[in-house]
Amino acid sequence: MNYSKILKEVKAEVDLLELEGHIANYIPELAKVDPDRFGLHLQCIDGTHFDFGDSQMKFSIQSISKVLSMALAMKLEGVAMWERVDVEPSGNPFNSLIQLEHEHGIPRNPLINAGAIVIADILVSRLANPKVDFLTFVRKLAGSEEIDFDLKVAESEAKTGFTNRALANFLKANFNLKNEVEEVLDFYFHQCSIAMTCRELAETFMVFANHGCLLHNGERMLSASQTKRINAIMQTCGFYDEAGEFSFRVGLPGKSGVGGGIAAIHPQQYSVVVWSPPLNEKGNSAKGMAALELLTTKTGLSIF
C-alpha cells in the first residue's frame, strides 16, 4: 500500500472541501486554538510512519482520553466494572442526562461523559496517585515522557464544567460514584486536558491495533480479549450520536474529541490520528471525518 501517495491525495482533496465547522467554545481555553491547523499521522503495524501537516503539534485530546481511562480501568477493575457502566450505544448527545435518569444512574457506555466519569471514579479508587499514575500509563503506551496535562485547560474546564458537575452529582445521587464529586471531577478534567501530537497519539493507539501489546517491544498491556472489547466499544460508541455515520462512512473503530482530534485503528494494520479543530454539528472534527473516509476508501481497507 502506497500510504505516502494516498495521504498526499487525502490532504489535497480535503483542502478543496468547503466544510462548515466551529471551534468548541464551551471550554474557553480550547476556543483559543488556530482553526486552520490540520495534521495527520499514520503508523503501520510494521513500524513505518506517514504524516502530513501539523502532525507534530500538541492539541488537547479531550474525549479521546476516555479510551485510555477505560483501558486502564479494565486492567485494574476487570469485568466488575460492567456492573456500573453498560456497553450500548447511547443514541443521544454525549452529555445527555436523560438516559442516565431513565436508566437509574447506569451510563450507557464508557465513552459518553457520564460513563467516563464513572470510569474516573474507578481509577480514583484504584490508583495511589490517580493523576500521576494515569499519566504514567499514557506515557508508557505512547513510549514518550513528553506527555503532560495542560493545566490551563483543566482549570478552564473546572470553572465552566457545569454539565459534567451535574452528571457527577446525579451519579452520586444514584450511588454510582464512590468518591467525592469534586475529587472525581478534578481527575476527569485533568485526564481530558492531556495534550499530545498526532504522532504521539497514533503511537498510543497502536496497542489497540496490535492485540493489546506495545509495538516496539511486544510487552502485553491488555489481553487480546480486552483489546477486542475496547475496539468493539469504539466502533459502536466512539462518536456520540454519529457513531453509525462514522461506522458507515469510515468503517474503523475510533474516538473523537472536541479538541478536533480523531484516533482510529485498523486491527493488525495501522493506527491513525487526524487533527483539525472545527467541529461539525455533531461535535466531531469535520475535516477529520472527511480525511478518514477518504483514507479507507482509497486504501480499500475497512474492517467491513
144 binds a second copy (CB under 8 A): no
Size of the site for a second copy (CB under 8 A): 53
Q: Work out whether the CA dihedral 235, 127, 261, 160 comes out positive or negative.
A: positive
Read off the C-alpha cell for 75. Answer: 486492567
Residue 210 Cβ, how far from a second copy at the closest point, in Å? 12
256 near 63, Cβ under 8 Å?
Answer: yes
Among 19, 98, 132, 151, binds a second copy (CB under 8 A): 98
Active site (annotated) includes residue 26: no
CA distance linking residue 22 with residue 277, whole number of Å? 8
| Closer residue to a second copy (CB): 58 or 228 | 228
Query: What part of residues 262-291 is at the interface with a second copy (CB under 8 A)?
Result: 267
188 is catalytic: yes
Q: Does residue 244 touch a second copy according to CB under 8 A?
A: yes
32 is catalytic: no
258 is catalytic: yes
Q: Applying CB under 8 A, does 166 fall inside the site for a second copy? A: yes
**Per annotation, catalytic residue among 85, 188, 256, 274:** 188
Reference 301, options 271, 259, 260; nearest CA is 271
CB 161 within 8 A of CB 26: no
Q: Nearest 5°: phi and psi at 111? A: -105, -5
Under the criterion CB under 8 A, does residue 256 sit at the interface with a second copy?
no
Among positions 176-205, residues that touch a second copy (CB under 8 A) are 181
Q: What is the DSSP letter of 279?
A: B
> Longest C-alpha distance within the chain, in Å?
54
Q: Could you report how far apart the first and last alpha carbons of the chain are, in Å? A: 18
Question: E strands along 157-298, which residues?
Answer: 195-196, 254-256, 261-266, 270-275
Q: Counting contacts by CB under 8 A, is residue 243 touching a second copy?
A: yes
Tell me, yes or no, if 125 is annotated catalytic: no
CB 104 within 8 A of CB 233: no
* Binding span for a second copy by CB under 8 A among 2-10, 56-64, 69-77, 84-92: 84-92
Question: Should residue 90 be labelled a site residue for a second copy when binding is judged by CB under 8 A?
Answer: yes
Q: Report if residue 1 touches a second copy, rule: CB under 8 A.
A: no
Chain center to CA of 49: 21
173 binds a second copy (CB under 8 A): yes
Q: Which residues bind a second copy (CB under 8 A)?
A: 86-92, 96-102, 108-109, 162-163, 165-170, 172-173, 181, 224-225, 227-229, 231-233, 235-237, 241-245, 247-248, 251, 253, 267, 297, 300, 302-304
Q: Which residues are catalytic?
A: 63, 66, 188, 240, 258
